[in-house]
Amino acid sequence: MSELRREIGIWRGIALNMIDMVGIGPFITIPLILSAMGGGRGMLAWILGGLLAISDGLVTAELAAELPASGGSYVFLREAYGRAGRLISFLFLFQILFSAPLSMASGCIGFANYLTVLAPSAKGHIAMAATIVCIITTLLLLRRIEAVGKFSILLWIGVLATLAIVIGAGLPHLRLEAFAFWRAPRLDSGLGYAGLGVALIYAVYDYLGYYNICYLGDEVRDPHRTIPRVIVISILAIGVIYLVMNACLISVLPMRQAMTSQSIVIFLILALIAIGNVGYFAGRRAQREEAGCASHTAQFW
């Protein structure tokens, strides 16, 4: 009988899923997706990636509802393949020893690239900065599940706040044409939707984590209802956020810069500040000109 306490509800579950899905992933991969698709046609990759995640997420949700135990895919494979289940589940667990560190390392390297914009002195120490981030993250996870759950909510709020700033600042400049990916011109030598496969790999990478709740099945309250809801809500919410954020970036930044930038969000904020300053000084100049015209008119009369 499991001795783990079921203390993860739907909101903590959504927080755990969404913080694992977002992270720094989209802030790194947006330029890669745009570059692979030659521009704005990269929006299609986000849509197809979300549909693929929903399809797999519904299957995972059904399995998790029937087998609500800690381990997720490990448990599913062990129970599904009978005598061979132990070997197959072991192989799945064994590959995580390679895939999980690589996934974490990619996020830490992306964080280090953003750090170089804020702290130029770190530009020659990206590997060291990424290593330090890995160590700090590992230390923060060495806590009880209640503390990790609460901490995940704080991180979730921080991630959503960052996304809200990017989307909120970009919405006034949003162009609806950014969603019409089929009309977007290609800025490279590619034809049609060439590169969609590569772009889809990056997009699916950004959606990964929707199954995170399944690894904590023994610690979820009412898992038959909570786990499917957490998976579906997480994917839908993240899909909408990704599409809107990508549209804001396309609407504000020059496409070639968006395709090559390693810190696209910071360049977006700088571009919006520049646009705001231009608007401010243009407004001030217009006010002075109006005041000058009014003064000349008064002198004439």
pTM assigned to the model: 0.74
Residue 189's SS3 state is: coil
Torsions phi, psi of 150, nearest 5? -70, -40
How many percent of the chain have pLDDT more than 70?
A: 87
Output the pLDDT for position 48: 92
Residues 135, 136, 140, 141: is their CA dihedral positive or negative?
negative
Lowest mean pLDDT among 16-20, 80-84, 88-92, 268-272: 268-272
Lowest mean pLDDT among 128-142, 203-217, 253-267, 285-299: 285-299
Output the pLDDT for position 170: 82
> CB of 229 within 8 A of CB of 10?
yes
- What separation in angstroms does the CA of 68 have from each of 58, 175, 210, 281? 15, 44, 16, 60
**Tell me: the pLDDT tens digits for 241-264?**
888 888 888 888 888 888 887 777
Provide the mean pLDDT of the chain.
79
Q: 10-300, superfamily in CATH?
A: Amino acid/polyamine transporter I (1.20.1740.10)
Residue 51's SS3 state is: helix
User: Which of the two residues, 6 and 60, has the higher pLDDT score?
Assistant: 60
Say which amino acid occupies 158. Answer: G
Average pLDDT over residues 176-204: 86
User: Does residue 298 carry a pLDDT above 70?
Assistant: no
**Tell me: the pLDDT tens digits for 149-170?**
777 777 777 777 877 888 888 8
Average pLDDT over residues 231-236: 88
Output the pLDDT for position 276: 58
Average pLDDT over residues 123-137: 83
d(Cα 187, Cα 206) in Å, to the nearest integer? Answer: 24
Output the pLDDT for position 3: 65
Show the tokens assigned to 206: 């950004």
Average pLDDT over residues 93-114: 82
> Which of the listed ranges 102-116, 155-169, 220-234 does the model predict with the highest average pLDDT?
220-234
User: Does residue 281 carry a pLDDT above 60?
Assistant: no
d(Cα 210, Cα 148) in Å, to the nearest integer? Answer: 18
